[in-house]
């Protein structure tokens, strides 16, 4: 395939920083395995996020809390192996960075070293800033995540729009000060997404945070329509793959049952 100039060389931290000039939005999609990561990379997606959303969309759990560091490394390796141009960011899962700064540093280093990813992402702001600063000091690029932080779903009482503007602004500023290179803003009113973006000097990536962030991220399974039971307001389906897969499987079953598969062209003589 051919690629335009914008998508022909690896996307780096410098490109993230450049997005602040506002002339090119950063495009980020979650990825959890090799074949889909390869498609996303070839499509020119700038950043592949190995999100701990894999707990829900891949492992079928109601939230991401059961995801482990081993899970993230397992999926992170597959995605990193597929990415030729895209930057790969791996989420730090629940309880891998909250217990102590030392443990956080050890887990972040392990994730980076064992997956070969370019950066890690963690949730939280003011309370996590010292941990972020330690990681950045150790040479680990950190993406922050504010607003709706899914690992706190129990405390937040569900996956709800977050409206505490002052707290979210303080979180974003603390992350910038600690050295984070970008911030995901999840599920906040559009105006707040814009306020946070204007208040910090690092790029913001929105998911349900309005169009005035420096980039946008979607969960792959939402974008592809892989689960017909889930249709978040902030997402857009670009395909209806659940139906496509079901049809393909039905056709295969029907061909086997009718005897039309395998045909002569599928056999060995």
Which residues 73-132 are close enough to bind ligand KIV by CB under 6 A? 91
Which residues 170-189 are close enough to bind ligand KIV by CB under 6 A? 184, 186
Compose the 143-162 pattern: x for residues touching ligand KIV by CB under 6 A, - for all others.
--x-----------------
Q: Are the C-beta atoms of residues 98 and 122 closer than 8 Å to each other? A: no
Q: Which residue is nearest to ligand KIV (CB)?
A: 51
Residue 253 burial by CB count (10 A; 0-12/13-18/19+): exposed, middle or buried?
exposed
What's the min distance (Å) between Cβ of 213 and ligand KIV? Answer: 12
Q: Where are the alpha helices (DSSP H) in the chain?
A: 13-18, 34-42, 54-57, 69-82, 101-115, 129-137, 153-156, 165-178, 190-199, 220-224, 241-258
Q: Are the C-beta atoms of residues 203 and 20 closer than 8 Å to each other? A: yes
Q: Does 30 bind ligand KIV (CB under 6 A)?
A: yes
What's the min distance (Å) between Cβ of 9 and ligand KIV? Answer: 25
For residues 202 and 181, what is the distance between their CA atoms, to the nearest angstrom? 6
Q: Segment contacting ligand KIV (CB under 6 A): 50-58, 79-87, 101-109, 175-183?
A: 50-58
> Is 102 noted as a catalytic residue in this protein?
no
Q: Which is nearer to ligand KIV, 174 or 217 (CB)?
A: 217
For residues 146 and 143, what is the distance between their CA atoms, to the nearest angstrom? 10
Which of 51, 179, 210, 225 binds ligand KIV (CB under 6 A)? It is 51
Which residues contact ligand KIV (rule: CB under 6 A)?
A: 30, 49, 51-53, 91, 145, 184, 186, 207, 217, 219
């Amino acid at each position: 395939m051919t690629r335009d100039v914008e998508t022909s060389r690896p996307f780096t931290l410098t490109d993230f920083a450049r997005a602040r000039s506002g002339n090119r939005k950063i495009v980020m999609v979650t990825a959890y395995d090799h074949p889909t990561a390869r498609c996303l990379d070839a499509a020119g997606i700038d950043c592949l996020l190995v999100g701990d959303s894999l707990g829900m969309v891949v492992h079928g759990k109601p939230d991401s809390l059961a995801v482990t560091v081993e899970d993230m490394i397992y999926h992170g390796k597959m995605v990193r192996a597929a990415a030729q141009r895209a930057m790969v960011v791996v989420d730090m899962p629940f309880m891998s960075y909250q217990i102590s700064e030392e443990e956080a540093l050890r887990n972040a280093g392990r994730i980076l070293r064992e997956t070969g990813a370019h950066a890690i992402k963690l949730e939280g702001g003011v309370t996590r800033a010292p941990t972020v600063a330690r990681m950045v000091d150790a040479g680990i690029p950190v993406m922050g995540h504010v607003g709706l932080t899914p690992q706190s779903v129990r405390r937040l009482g569900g996956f709800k729009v977050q409206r505490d503007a002052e707290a979210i602004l303080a979180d974003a500023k603390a992350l910038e000060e600690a050295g984070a290179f970008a911030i995901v803003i999840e599920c906040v009113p559009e105006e707040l997404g814009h306020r946070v973006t204007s208040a910090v000097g690092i790029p913001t990536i929105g998911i349900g945070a309005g169009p005035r962030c420096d980039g946008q991220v979607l969960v792959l399974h939402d974008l592809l329509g892989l689960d017909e039971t889930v249709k978040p307001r902030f997402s857009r389906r670009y395909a209806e793959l659940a139906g496509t897969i079901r049809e393909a499987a039905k056709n295969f079953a029907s061909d086997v049952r009718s005897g039309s598969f395998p045909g002569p062209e599928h056999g060995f003589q």
